[in-house]
C-alpha cells in the first residue's frame, strides 16, 4: 500500500511513500517521512493500492504519529481549496490547521530504541553516537554540538533503520492563574430587546433549515451583538450541532471568554494564545473527541476539528488580524464562509463597522443584513466632538498633545471618579528623531523607516526589524550635537499626562507593556476593577472592551492612518474612530468622545462623528468603483525581495513579464515598483499588484507563475486578497 503525503514545504505537491507492512494508516493521520536529508511531519491525504507510475527510490513512512486521523476528510478538502486559492502547498495549508503542539516544533529528544539494544551497531560516527545515547536521551541540538553538523545525516539514517527514537518534547506547562475553568454554567441569558429578537429569530430559522445561510449583523457598539451570538450558539447546541466563534484577538476579549464559560461551561473550549502548547493541544483534542462543542478562538480556530458544524460566528469581521500575514496567507473570515457553505452551516458576521467587502455582499443579497441600530437598555450612543488641533498650535511649540478641551474633560472625570481612555495608534515615545541642523531623520540602517525613540529603555528601535540601538549623541551625517525628538507615541502621552495630573492613576497598554505573559490580562483586570483612572493605549484599547465606568474617550490624533499609501486608509480611519468611540458610555452615564484632528472638514472624520456607516459606505464604495479596487476588483500582490537590489529587481521583472503575457483585458498588472516599505531587514523589495475583475481571470494570470523558482538569494511572496498594501 502507498500513501500520498502532504508536507508543509512551499511549492511541494503531495509525495508518494510506501506504507510499512501491517501498519494501519488512514487519511488525515500525521506521519514522519524522509525528504532528502530531513525527516518531516506530513499528513496523509490519499491511500492507494498501486502506483500510478514507476517511482524510483520510493521511500517508506518512518513513523505513524496518530492512532486516529488528526484531520477529517472535510478539513483535508478545505486545505486543498486553500492551496488552490492562496497558492500555497496543500501541506502548508494543513499545517496551519494543526495546533503548534502537533507540529514538529519544540525540542527534539533523541533516544535509543529497544531494537538498538540487540542490533549490531554500525561503525564510525554512528557507533559513537549510539554509545553516547546509551547513557541517556539527548536533544538534537546537543547531539549536533557534540558530533558536528555532519551527524544530522547519520542520525536520519539511524532513525530510518529504527535504531533511534525522535520525540518532540513540549515546553513545560505553566498554568495561568485565574484562567478559565468554570465548569458549570452560571449565567442566564437576558431578555432580548426587539431588534435583538428579530436578529435571533432570523438566525434560528436558518439553523432550523439545516442549510447554508449567511448573515451580516450590523450593530452599533454596545447594541448587544454578543448576546445574539450566544443565543444562536445555544440553539445550535440544542440541535446537536457544534459552533465556532472567532474573535480578532482572544487575549483582549476576556469578557467574552468569561461569558462563554459562564453560559456553556464544560461544553466550551477556548483556543487561547496565552495557553501553553500543551494546554492548547488538550483543548484541541477535547474538540476533536467531541467533548467540547463550542469553540472560541482567534483566526486559526476557523479550523477547529468539530464533528458536526452548525454555526460559525465571526465577531468584528472587518479586523485585519483575520488575515494571516505569513504563508499560508489565508483570510479566516473568508474561509469561515467557505467552510460553512461546504457543510450547510450558518455563518454570522458581526460588526459596528463592517468591511466594505462584507457590506457590499449584504447589498448584493449574498448575506442577509440584520440591524441593531440602538444600544441595549436605552443607553445613548456617545457624543462625538471634533477638536480642531490647528487652532491649538502655539507658534513656538507647535501642536500640543492634548487640547484644552481634552484636559478639562479629563480633569472632570478625575474629580468624579469616572474613567477615561486615550488612544494613539503609535507606540514608543517619539516616532521621529531629527537632526536640528541638517534636518536629517534618523532611519534604520537595514530598513527604510525612521527609528522610534523609546524613553522607557532609552534607545532607538526599528518597528520593522526590531533592531535597537542606543540613542546617538550626535547626528551621523553632520555631527550636530543634539538630536530633536518629534511627534508622539503612547509613552510620551503617558509621560505628559503625568505632568498635568500627577496624582492620577495611569495605565498604558501597547505591544511594549505586554511582553510578559499575563501582563495584558492584568492591565485589563485592574482597569476593569477601577484601580486606574486613565488607560492610554494603541489600537488594543479599541477592540471590543466593555468597561462600564468609562465615560470619556480621547483620540489623540485621528490623522495617523488617514494618509497612508493604502486604498483602505480611509476605511481604517473610519473604523478606528467609531470603534474607539464605542468604548465610551457603556454603563449608566453618557459617554463623550473627543477626536483631535488637523482635518476637521475631512468627510471621513465628519462621517465618523455622526457614526453614519451607510453614508460612509456609499462614499467609499463609489471611490472603490472609480479606482477599481475591492470589492469591485480581485487583488493579488507579489513581493520580490533580496539582499541584492539588482537580483530583487531582476526577479520582479521576470515575474511581471510572465504576468503581463498572461493578462487579458480584465486584468491590470501594476509595477514592478519599489514597495512602500522598500527595504526591510537589509532586503530590497519590489512589488507587483494584480487587479482582476474576477477570481477566474486572476487565477488564470497567476497560473503563469507556475514552476517559477526564484534563484537562490531571492524570494518571492504571493499574497492573494492582500489586507495590507505596505
Partner that binds at residue 279, options ligand ADP, Zn ion, none, CB closer than 5 to 8 Å by kind: none
- The answer to the question of residue 227 lying near ligand ADP (CB under 6 A) is yes
- The answer to the question of residue 226 lying near ligand ADP (CB under 6 A) is yes
- The answer to the question of residue 193 lying near ligand ADP (CB under 6 A) is yes
CB count in 10 Å sphere of residue 150: 10
User: What's the closest the beta carbon of residue 258 comes to ligand ADP, in angstroms?
Assistant: 11
**Where does this chain touch ligand ADP (CB under 6 A) — which range of 187-195, 235-243, 457-465, 602-610?**
187-195
CB count in 10 Å sphere of residue 478: 12
Partner that binds at residue 714, options ligand ADP, Zn ion, none, CB closer than 5 to 8 Å by kind: none
User: What's the closest the beta carbon of residue 406 comes to ligand ADP, in angstroms?
Assistant: 25
Contact present, 108 and 171 (Cβ < 8 Å): no
3-state secondary structure of 20: coil
- Closer by beta carbon to Zn ion, 466 or else 614: 466
- What residues pair up with 369 in beta bridges, in sequence order? 216
Provide the Cα torsion 300, 306, 312, 316; round to 10°.
-30
CA 262 – CA 240 distance, rounded (Å): 20
Q: How far from chain centre, in Å, is Cα 680?
A: 20
- Closer by beta carbon to ligand ADP, 4 or else 227: 227
- The answer to the question of residue 533 lying near ligand ADP (CB under 6 A) is no
Partner that binds at residue 465, options ligand ADP, Zn ion, none, CB closer than 5 to 8 Å by kind: Zn ion
Partner that binds at residue 546, options ligand ADP, Zn ion, none, CB closer than 5 to 8 Å by kind: ligand ADP
Report CA torsion sign: 332, 333, 339, 340. Answer: positive
- Closer by beta carbon to ligand ADP, 376 or else 716: 376
User: What's the closest the beta carbon of residue 536 comes to ligand ADP, in angstroms?
Assistant: 22
- The answer to the question of residue 611 lying near ligand ADP (CB under 6 A) is no
**Where does this chain touch ligand ADP (CB under 6 A) — which range of 19-27, 188-196, 552-560, 714-722?**
188-196
User: What's the closest the beta carbon of residue 452 comes to Zn ion, in angstroms?
Assistant: 10
Residues near Zn ion, by CB under 5 A: 444, 446-447, 462, 464-465, 467
Which residue from 330, 331, 383, 322 is spatially nearest to 351, judged by alpha carbons? 322
Which of 35, 192, 234, 407 binds ligand ADP (CB under 6 A)? It is 192
Which of 319, 546, 570, 721 binds ligand ADP (CB under 6 A)? It is 546
Contact present, 525 and 282 (Cβ < 8 Å): no
CA 578 – CA 569 distance, rounded (Å): 14
Which of 41, 89, 156, 196 binds ligand ADP (CB under 6 A)? It is 196
Q: Which residues 367-386 are close enough to bind ligand ADP by CB under 6 A? A: 376-377
Partner that binds at residue 566, options Zn ion, ligand ADP, none, CB closer than 5 to 8 Å by kind: none
CA 155 – CA 532 distance, rounded (Å): 57
C-alpha cell at 709: 523558482
User: What's the closest the beta carbon of residue 217 comes to ligand ADP, in angstroms?
Assistant: 9
**Where does this chain touch ligand ADP (CB under 6 A) — which range of 46-54, 185-193, 522-530, 666-674?**
185-193
Residue-wise DSSP of 549-579: TEEEEEES-TTTTTTSSSTTHHHHHHHHHHH
Which residue from 243, 235, 245 is spatially nearest to 206, judged by alpha carbons? 235
Which residue from 484, 494, 510 is spatially nearest to 402, judged by alpha carbons? 494
User: What's the closest the beta carbon of residue 561 comes to Zn ion, in angstroms?
Assistant: 21
* Residue 103 backbone class (left: φ over 0; alpha: ψ -120 to 50; beta: rest): beta
- The answer to the question of residue 221 lying near ligand ADP (CB under 6 A) is yes
CA 576 – CA 608 distance, rounded (Å): 9
Residue-wise DSSP of 175-234: PPTT-S---S----PPPPPHHHHHHHHHHHHHHHHTS-EEEEEEE-TTS-HHHHHHHHHH
- The answer to the question of residue 219 lying near ligand ADP (CB under 6 A) is yes
Half-sphere exposure of 314 toward its Cβ, with a 13 Å CA cutoff?
29
Q: Exposure of 568 by Cβ count < 10 A (0-12 exposed, 13-18 middle, 19+ buried)?
A: buried
User: What's the closest the beta carbon of residue 318 comes to ligand ADP, in angstroms?
Assistant: 14
**Where does this chain touch ligand ADP (CB under 6 A) — which range of 214-222, 318-326, 557-565, 636-644?**
214-222
CA distances to 121, 387, 433, 454, 490 from 595, in Å: 75, 6, 26, 25, 16
Question: Beta strand pairing status for 534-537 and 506-509?
Answer: parallel
- Closer by beta carbon to ligand ADP, 40 or else 270: 270
Partner that binds at residue 446, options ligand ADP, Zn ion, none, CB closer than 5 to 8 Å by kind: Zn ion
- Closer by beta carbon to Zn ion, 422 or else 442: 442
User: What's the closest the beta carbon of residue 582 comes to ligand ADP, in angstroms?
Assistant: 7
H or E stretch at 48: strand 38-48
- The answer to the question of residue 224 lying near ligand ADP (CB under 6 A) is yes
- Closer by beta carbon to ligand ADP, 193 or else 526: 193
- Closer by beta carbon to ligand ADP, 148 or else 614: 614
DSSP label at residue 394: B
C-alpha cell at 128: 559513537
User: What's the closest the beta carbon of residue 583 comes to ligand ADP, in angstroms?
Assistant: 10
- Closer by beta carbon to ligand ADP, 190 or else 530: 190
- The answer to the question of residue 223 lying near ligand ADP (CB under 6 A) is yes
- Closer by beta carbon to Zn ion, 467 or else 484: 467
- Closer by beta carbon to ligand ADP, 343 or else 369: 369
- CA max distance for the chain: 87
Which residue from 713, 595, 697 is spatially nearest to 650, judged by alpha carbons? 713
User: What's the closest the beta carbon of residue 275 comes to ligand ADP, in angstroms?
Assistant: 24
Partner that binds at residue 226, options ligand ADP, Zn ion, none, CB closer than 5 to 8 Å by kind: ligand ADP
- Closer by beta carbon to ligand ADP, 42 or else 219: 219
CA 367 – CA 201 distance, rounded (Å): 16
Partner that binds at residue 672, options ligand ADP, Zn ion, none, CB closer than 5 to 8 Å by kind: none
- Closer by beta carbon to ligand ADP, 389 or else 421: 421
Residues that bind ligand ADP (CB under 6 A): 190-193, 196, 219, 221-227, 376-377, 546
Amino acid at each position: 500500500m502507498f500513501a500520498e503525503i502532504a508536507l508543509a514545504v512551499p511549492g511541494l505537491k503531495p509525495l508518494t511513500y510506501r506504507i510499512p507492512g501491517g501498519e494501519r494508516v488512514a487519511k488525515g493521520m500525521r506521519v514522519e517521512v524522509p525528504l532528502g536529508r530531513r525527516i518531516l511531519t506530513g499528513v496523509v491525504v490519499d491511500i492507494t493500492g498501486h502506483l500510478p507510475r514507476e517511482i524510483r527510490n520510493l521511500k517508506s513512512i518512518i513513523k505513524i504519529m496518530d492512532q486516529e486521523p488528526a484531520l477529517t476528510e472535510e478539513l483535508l478538502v478545505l486545505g486543498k481549496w486553500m492551496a488552490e486559492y492562496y497558492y500555497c502547498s496543500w501541506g502548508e495549508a494543513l499545517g496551519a490547521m494543526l495546533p503548534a503542539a502537533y507540529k514538529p516544533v519544540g525540542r527534539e529528544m533523541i533516544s535509543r530504541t529497544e531494537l538498538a539494544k540487540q542490533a549490531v551497531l554500525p561503525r564510525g560516527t554512528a557507533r559513537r553516537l549510539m554509545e553516547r545515547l546509551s547513557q541517556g536521551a539527548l536533544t538534537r541540538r546537543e547531539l549536533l554540538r557534540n558530533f558536528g553538523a555532519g551527524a544530522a545525516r547519520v542520525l536520519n539514517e539511524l532513525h530510518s533503520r529504527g535504531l533511534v527514537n525522535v520525540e518532540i518534547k513540549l515546553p513545560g506547562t505553566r498554568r495561568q492563574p485565574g484562567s478559565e475553568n468554570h465548569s458549570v454554567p452560571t449565567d442566564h441569558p437576558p431578555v432580548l430587546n426587539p431588534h435583538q429578537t428579530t436578529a435571533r429569530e432570523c438566525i434560528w430559522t436558518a439553523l432550523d433549515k439545516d442549510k447554508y445561510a449567511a448573515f451580516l449583523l450590523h450593530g452599533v457598539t454596545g447594541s448587544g451583538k454578543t448576546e445574539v451570538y450566544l443565543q444562536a450558539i445555544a440553539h445550535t447546541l440544542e440541535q446537536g450541532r457544534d459552533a465556532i466563534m472567532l474573535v480578532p484577538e482572544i487575549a483582549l476579549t476576556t469578557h467574552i471568554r468569561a461569558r462563554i464559560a459562564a453560559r456553556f461551561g464544560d461544553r466550551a473550549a477556548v483556543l487561547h494564545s496565552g495557553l501553553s502548547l500543551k494546554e492548547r493541544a488538550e483543548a484541541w483534542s477535547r474538540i476533536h473527541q467531541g467533548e467540547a462543542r463550542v469553540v472560541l478562538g482567534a483566526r486559526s480556530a476557523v479550523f477547529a476539528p468539530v464533528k458536526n458544524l452548525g454555526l460559525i460566528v465571526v465577531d468584528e469581521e472587518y479586523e485585519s488580524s483575520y488575515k494571516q500575514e505569513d504563508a499560508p496567507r489565508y483570510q479566516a473570515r473568508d474561509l469561515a464562509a467557505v467552510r460553512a457553505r461546504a457543510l450547510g452551516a450558518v455563518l454570522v458576521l458581526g460588526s459596528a463597522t463592517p468591511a466594505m467587502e462584507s457590506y457590499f455582499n449584504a447589498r448584493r443579497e449574498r448575506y442577509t443584513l440584520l440591524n441593531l441600530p440602538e444600544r441595549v437598555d436605552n443607553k445613548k450612543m456617545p457624543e462625538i466632538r471634533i477638536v480642531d488641533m490647528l487652532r491649538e498650535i502655539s507658534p513656538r511649540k507647535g501642536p500640543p498633545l492634548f487640547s484644552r478641551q481634552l484636559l478639562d474633560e479629563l480633569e472632570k472625570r478625575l474629580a468624579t471618579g469616572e474613567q477615561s481612555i486615550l488612544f494613539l495608534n503609535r507606540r514608543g515615545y517619539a516616532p521621529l528623531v531629527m537632526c536640528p541642523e541638517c534636518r536629517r531623520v534618523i532611519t534604520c540602517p537595514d530598513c527604510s523607516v525612521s527609528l522610534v525613540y523609546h524613553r522607557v529603555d532609552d534607545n532607538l528601535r526599528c518597528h520593522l526589524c526590531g533592531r535597537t540601538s542606543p540613542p546617538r549623541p550626535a547626528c551621523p551625517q553632520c555631527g550636530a550635537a543634539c538630536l530633536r525628538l518629534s511627534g508622539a507615541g503612547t509613552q510620551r502621552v503617558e509621560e505628559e499626562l503625568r505632568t498635568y495630573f500627577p496624582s492620577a492613576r495611569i495605565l498604558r497598554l501597547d505591544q511594549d507593556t505586554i511582553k510578559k505573559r499575563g501582563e495584558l490580562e492584568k492591565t485589563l483586570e485592574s482597569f476593569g476593577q477601577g484601580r486606574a483612572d486613565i488607560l492610554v493605549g494603541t489600537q488594543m484599547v479599541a477592540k471590543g472592551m466593555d468597561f462600564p465606568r468609562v465615560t470619556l474617550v480621547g483620540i489623540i490624533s485621528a490623522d495617523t492612518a488617514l494618509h497612508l499609501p493604502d486604498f483602505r486608509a480611509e476605511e481604517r480611519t473610519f473604523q478606528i474612530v467609531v470603534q474607539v468611540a464605542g468604548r465610551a458610555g457603556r454603563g449608566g452615564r453618557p459617554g463623550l468622545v473627543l477626536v483631535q484632528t488637523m482635518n476637521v472638514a475631512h468627510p471621513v472624520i465628519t462621517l465618523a462623528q455622526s457614526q453614519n456607516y451607510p453614508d460612509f459606505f456609499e462614499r467609499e464604495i463609489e471611490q472603490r468603483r472609480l479606482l477599481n479596487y475591492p470589492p469591485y476588483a480581485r487583488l493579488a500582490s507579489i513581493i520580490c525581495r533580496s539582499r541584492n537590489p539588482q537580483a530583487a529587481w531582476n526577479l520582479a521583472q521576470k515575474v511581471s513579464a510572465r504576468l503581463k503575457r498572461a493578462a487579458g483585458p480584465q486584468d491590470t498588472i501594476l509595477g514592478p515598483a519599489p514597495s512602500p516599505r522598500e527595504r526591510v531587514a537589509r532586503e530590497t523589495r519590489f512589488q507587483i499588484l494584480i487587479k482582476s475583475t474576477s477570481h477566474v481571470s486572476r487565477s488564470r494570470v497567476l497560473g503563469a507563475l507556475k514552476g517559477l523558482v526564484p534563484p537562490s538569494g531571492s524570494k518571492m511572496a504571493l499574497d492573494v486578497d492582500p489586507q495590507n498594501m505596505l
